[in-house]
Structure 1
């Protein structure tokens, strides 16, 4: 049986800092312009790394985790822009299905279908979805975030009580900062909750290597004309704290 080693990827450097702080016996390994932090969280082997931005970079990073660090499962945390009008800044989306919104090999195959895999959506398995869901709900219900994020910072982003949503996440090599982008995606993929730049690529690599994965995204902006204004501040003050609290709770359940 394969030893349990959990890979943890963060979409921003700030988002892995708090997770790295959870590691005991931390060892750093540098390869491919990335630094991998190995150690234990709650007695379980883990490797933490900044994914870098975009689908190719993230796919490269998770491939290294699989081939060089022999991970048995993968957790990915990061921010996303809201596509569904139900989502508010500070809400958390857990990916049930991942799709690459910029995949288009027509007329050779249907739009969004991944070449050679004959798949459009990549699904997280029910077991890991349930674990992540339980951990995130515990963070929300226990108001853990309010203990690690100052009241002023929460007020700044109008965050009072975050909610968990489980559903479709779309990934592509675009930062959504225009209303037109958002409306076009909603028209084409009406079930998508949020959009980001890495999750579906990571899910594809995990699928091909038979590695279970969980993609967890915190809503940082509305994926519209205001996205660039709030984004850097949100990463520093909010999402980095979310990542550490969620990962900590997942490891309590495992």
Structure 2
């Protein structure tokens, strides 16, 4: 079965997608709600994993084990870590890793990888989806996304992450989702829209742009689903 798993950390990140789905059933495992339904003729399982890496990884494994999804798309918001990545821009993951786990630990311990690569077909699908969105009110970028257990709003920490990882944006779940997807051989991609610049003004910017950015990411995901229907 070609069933697509869609994960958001918060309801605000998936509400727009949820509003466009036809629901068939709802399941609850380990405190996570899984909404089974269709987007047009595509089978979808949509879920809200909560904030942080442990929640994200737990929810992702359940999504794989219980619902046998063939692809995973993570949608949501993030803080920019690149001067070219502006508020409300879209970042499509090339690869994902943790900014709060030492790189030597990543390559020395299972699964012995410094980062986890997004699926090339899903990356290309996201690019085509962006190209089919009209009007275009923001730019898109393809690059590394880093995750960690903190909301980044300190310029010194921001600079340290940039120097170590050269990422395009930072958030709190994507690397965990990619990690679990990869060790299960499930194709994944992380889609994020920028809500803040991960600096001293991050909290103010986040509050202003979180819904706008969340919907930008969600609309791109819906366009990806539409393209999948036509393939």
**Are the equivalent residues in 2 in contact too, given 1:28–1:36 (CA < 8 A)?**
yes
Unaligned runs of 5+ residues in structure 1 are 145-160
DSSP-derived class of the 1:113 partner:
helix
Unaligned runs of 5+ residues in structure 2 are none
Q: 75, 100, 103: which one pairs with 1:102?
A: 100
In the alignment, structure 1 residue 217 sits paired with structure 2 residue 215: no
- Residue 151 (structure 1) aligns with: none
Q: 65, 71, 74: which one pairs with 1:73?
A: 71
In 1, Cα distance between equivalents of 2:50 and 2:107 = 25
Residue deviations 1:96-125 (CA, integer Å, cap 9, x gap): 0111111127xxxx2543622221011112
In 2, Cα distance between equivalents of 1:233 and 1:33 = 29
In 1, Cα distance between equivalents of 2:10 and 2:108 = 26
- Residue 147 (structure 1) aligns with: none
After TM superposition, give the deviation of residue 133 of structure 1 in Å.
1.4
Q: TM-score scaled to structure 2, two decimals?
A: 0.94
- Residue 133 (structure 1) aligns with: 127
Residue deviations 1:125-153 (CA, integer Å, cap 9, x gap): 211111111112322xx116xxxxxxxxx
CA radius of gyration, larger in: 1
Instruction: Report how many residues are paired.
Output: 228
In 1, Cα distance between equivalents of 2:43 and 2:195 = 30
Residue deviations 1:10-59 (CA, integer Å, cap 9, x gap): 12211111111121134222222221111011201001111211111000
Q: 244, 249, 252: which one pairs with 2:218?
A: 244
DSSP-derived class of the 1:192 partner:
coil
CA pair 225-198 structure 1, distance change in 2 beyond 3 A? same
In the alignment, structure 1 residue 169 sits paired with structure 2 residue 145: yes
Q: TM-score scaled to structure 1, two decimals?
A: 0.85
